[in-house]
């Protein structure tokens, strides 16, 4: 966020759809923390760590679209497009397209471990 040259605000949402690295199947997606501000008429850049099946991101995009933002774009650091279950998922900016493997470090973890590593590494699970 330090490098974004325009005036902007940061907010966070928290969704639950995964537990311990496994999908919950038909249990769905739960909104644990909603945005603190109204986004109507605002330009939204949704930043995601990993886009995989697209189910969670699709849910969030639909939720935010109902709130009538001026625009909604999606950026992700890691993308796995070959695992998509949502055909028309709008991912506008992709850092890296990666294989179907787990990564740790730089904030990514497996069971709350390895998040503190200073770089992104392929996990050996």
Give the integer Cα–Cα distance in Å for 99 and 81. 9
111 in catalytic set: no
Residue among 38, 52, 79, 109 flagged as catalytic = 52
Residues tagged active-site: 52
């Amino acid at each position: 966020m330090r490098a974004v040259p325009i005036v902007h605000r940061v907010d966070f949402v928290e969704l639950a759809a995964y537990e311990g690295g496994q999908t919950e199947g038909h249990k769905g997606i739960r909104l644990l923390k909603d945005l603190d501000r109204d986004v109507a008429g605002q330009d939204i850049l949704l930043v995601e760590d990993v886009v995989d099946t697209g189910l969670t991101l699709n849910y969030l995009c639909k939720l935010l679209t109902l709130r009538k933002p001026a625009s909604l774009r999606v950026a992700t650091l890691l993308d796995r497009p070959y695992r998509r279950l949502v055909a028309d998922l709008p991912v506008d900016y992709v850092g890296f397209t990666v294989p179907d493997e787990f990564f740790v470090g730089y904030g990514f973890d497996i069971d709350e471990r390895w998040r503190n590593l200073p770089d992104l590494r392929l996990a050996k699970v």
